[in-house]
Amino acid sequence: MSSSRNLVLHDYYRLQIPTQPVLSPDGRFAAVGVISFLEKDNERLQSLFLVPVDGGPVHRLTRGKAGGSAPAFSPDGRQLAFLSTRPDEPEVAALRDAAKQDGEKEKAADKDKQQVWVLDLAFGGEPRQLTYACDGVESFCWSPDGKEIAYAARAPRPGEQEYLKAIREDDGPFVLRRVQHKQDGVGYLDEVTSQIFLTSVETRTVRQLTSAPFSCRLPAFSPDGATIAFFANCTGEPDQNHRQDIFCIDRESGQAYRLTRGDVNAAVLEEPPAFSPDGTMVAFASPAEPENEYLVTRLLVAKIADARPLEGLASALEQGFSSIGGVVPDGIPEDPAQHGRVYPVPLERTPSTVVTERLDRPVRGGVRWLDDQTLVALIGDQAQTKVARVSLAGEVSYLSPCGPMGTVAEMDAQAGRIVATLSLPDGGHELYRIDPDGDVRLTAFQEEIVKDLALPLMERLTVTAPDGASVDAIALFPPGHLAGTPEPLIVQIHGGPMAYDSPRFDFENVYFAQRGYVVLQVNYRGSISFGEAFCKQIRGCWGPLEHMDVMAGVDHLLSRGDVDPERLYVTGFSQGGIMTNWAVGHTDRFRAAVSEHGMWEYSSSFGTDDCQLWWQDDLGVPWQNPEGYRKMSPASGAASIHTPLLITAGQEDWRCPLDQAEQLYITLRKRGVPTELVIYQGEHHSITKPRRAIDRLRRIGEWFARYGGPPLEDDSAEGYPGPQGPERGT
């Protein structure tokens, strides 16, 4: 592989990222979504491609801004259904009008709502629209006979429909009654439930299958087509817990059954229940304690024969618990963190087998059956997400990646074949066929970017923290780096905090390494791929251990002579931003720092972010545990911050709200610490527009350059100017 050039910011527009791979029923083809970025319109797109699994040319299926997502082959493999926001077909508009003439209330349809569309793969042509759900389709699946599609969609009642119309069209007030009253990327939440519908593929006639007093989500057909399984929280207090149970409903009679018993979060992966090929079992994942974010997610199997019949879905509401929980009583002299954990108490346990009980590693997704005794799933292990074969007896064998480099994002399995999107440090992010004899690359979406790059050297490290803990880290060194030559260092702290950094191709890290920085990523305590005990250590105690581990990584590279002690920099996004705020309050070793979309003072975040249940599980509630909230907040170190800090935030970020960045900013301004606050207009807890993604990289590089880091050369991809025009680091 030649190595002749450095990555430039304009290369961001050349990225093509495969996602959501699915296999045809015979395993011969894979459909995959490909994310790309349109420079002219500053847009992020996703189009669909068809990939021969035995090798051959890749065929593009859709184009444009409404290209499509969530592809799914029909049972005969001839058609491909997908979600798209393209304009309604005229025939569907007529169906919608006809529904209104039948007395249905105004639907207040939104043009940007995604519907199910179908492509004929045999004859081609334009896709055909199947659904016309008023608020769009959330998820869908084919019936085994290919005649119907089941889908989950919001089902507002007449009064709710009037309210939706008022807030969307008449600028009416938001009226909030839910505990979880807001969600990042969604907005203020209403009380509309989602239900399961069936639509005929031929006639597009619709039948509502569930009418429960709670939301029904992520449907999946049994192999014989007689039953549909789905998830629902039937506690009556869905915002106060994570109890997602599996229910089943007969496709024809409507008879409902309850499979799990309120002791699981069966929807933790946001994937539908997985029926075994013979239809007798359902596989799903759940942590042992649904509200405890620090436990590994385990693979479970339940028998359909153990499902209990219900007298209608409504009869399940608040049943099966000795206590629902939710409201926190005051005045009890107990540990406020423990006292604040008020959750449903189920009357019994779900009759199930914990297949991965002996494996201290989390199931991350992709749960599929290979046969009636064997599954495959993605499992997080030692900083890598791997494809694993899992027997019902609990035997686990990793299929890919088997070496120390690379990580898998998504996977599918059909007809004994497996495909996965795999990211390798020197190969980019591509679709692979996972074979017993090795992985076979099927696409070359990023080849034009990667093939001629002067790639950094990546090294996996094991460092020892001062308390003796062994911690994994990943270091990228500038191309041509000589061991023992001191280079400037960027510490890149991951989010989560239960996430983990993997040895993969990452645009941002390659960009900075090629500009002369060593880039260090430390999988600090809390990183779930190293097991439950490693992760649980930070529950209710963010800050000290993670910081200790990060600094141990810095000291390790300093002891080798690979980094310059006078040019140390730190940054991170989300939890990484939080830990950056903690770092600058507990050490002056960093010459400059960038905190992105982080938080500062936790008690003031409670109720303004969308993580109230998480805070409650870690610390209790702030009025009962003010000292605990204060001690864990980065704001506790405010008086010790002297490091120049660039702060970025999303204007509509409700995961780490903007006011957290504003509090930090004004604190530093009042103390005379060099600082700037960059607010990305309209953004949530992520960066969605490509120009903004480029802008943030440029600002990080320029901020570090201002304080002694390598200067950034200009390229053709510009960010947004500051009030005095774009500043260049000197």
Let me know: does 168 contact 110? Beta carbons within 8 Å.
yes
Assigned token pair, 441: 């690359």
Give me the mean pLDDT over the 346-353 stretch.
97
Q: How many CB atoms within 10 Å of residue 10?
A: 13
Residue 1 has pLDDT above 80, yes or no: no
Question: pLDDT tens for residues 151-200?
Answer: 999 999 999 999 999 999 888 999 999 999 999 999 999 999 999 999 99
Task: Tell me what the pLDDT averaged over the chain comes to.
Answer: 94
pLDDT at 108: 41
Those residues with Cβ within 8 angstroms of residue 698's Cβ, 6 or more apart along the chain or in another chain: 9, 712, 718, 719, 726
Q: How far apart are CA 414 and CA 23, in angstroms?
A: 6
The model's confidence at residue 405, banded by pLDDT at 50, 70 and 90, is: very high
Question: pLDDT tens for residues 13-43?
Answer: 999 999 999 999 999 999 999 999 999 999 9
Peptide bond into 401 cis (omega under 30): yes
Question: pLDDT tens for residues 48-66?
Answer: 999 999 999 999 999 988 8
Q: How far apart are CA 623 and CA 626, in angstroms?
A: 6
Give me the mean pLDDT over the 424-448 stretch.
95
Q: How many CB atoms within 10 Å of residue 342?
A: 21
**What domains, with CATH codes, occur in the chain?**
29-356 (2.120.10), 450-706 (3.40.50.1820)
Burial of 63 (0-12, 13-18, 19+ CB in 10 A): exposed
Q: How far is CA 265 from the centre of its chain?
A: 16
pLDDT at 104: 44
The predicted model scores a pTM of: 0.95
Those residues with Cβ within 8 angstroms of residue 672's Cβ, 6 or more apart along the chain or in another chain: none
Sign of the Cα torsion 701, 707, 710, 716 reads positive
Q: Which residue has the tokens 């491909």?
A: 80
CA distances from 427 to 213, 423, 455, 621 (A): 49, 7, 10, 47
Burial of 466 (0-12, 13-18, 19+ CB in 10 A): exposed
The model's confidence at residue 100, banded by pLDDT at 50, 70 and 90, is: low
Those residues with Cβ within 8 angstroms of residue 544's Cβ, 6 or more apart along the chain or in another chain: none
Q: How far is CA 230 from the centre of its chain?
A: 21
pLDDT at 91: 82
Q: How far apart are CA 183 and CA 609, in angstroms?
A: 8
Single-letter amino acid code for the residue at 215: S
Helix (H, G, I), strand (E, B) or coil at 230: strand
Q: How many CB atoms within 10 Å of residue 262?
A: 26
Helix (H, G, I), strand (E, B) or coil at 233: coil
CA distances from 210 to 153, 195, 216, 264, 273 (A): 11, 6, 8, 22, 17
Let me know: does 416 contact 495? Beta carbons within 8 Å.
no
The model's confidence at residue 724, banded by pLDDT at 50, 70 and 90, is: low
Q: How far apart are CA 645 and CA 215, in angstroms?
A: 44
* pLDDT-wise least confident of 317-321, 458-462, 566-570, 722-726: 722-726
Give me the mean pLDDT over the 210-230 stretch.
98
- Of 576 and 727, more confident: 576
Q: How far apart are CA 576 and CA 493, in angstroms?
A: 5
Q: How far apart are CA 728 and CA 730, in angstroms?
A: 6
> Which DSSP state fits 417?
E
Q: How far is CA 724 from the centre of its chain?
A: 37
∠ CA(611), CA(616), CA(618), 5° rounding? 95
3-state helix, strand, coil in the chain (%, to 5): 20, 35, 45
pLDDT at 3: 54
pLDDT at 674: 98
Q: Which of 165, 154, 270 is nearest to 208 (CA)?
A: 154
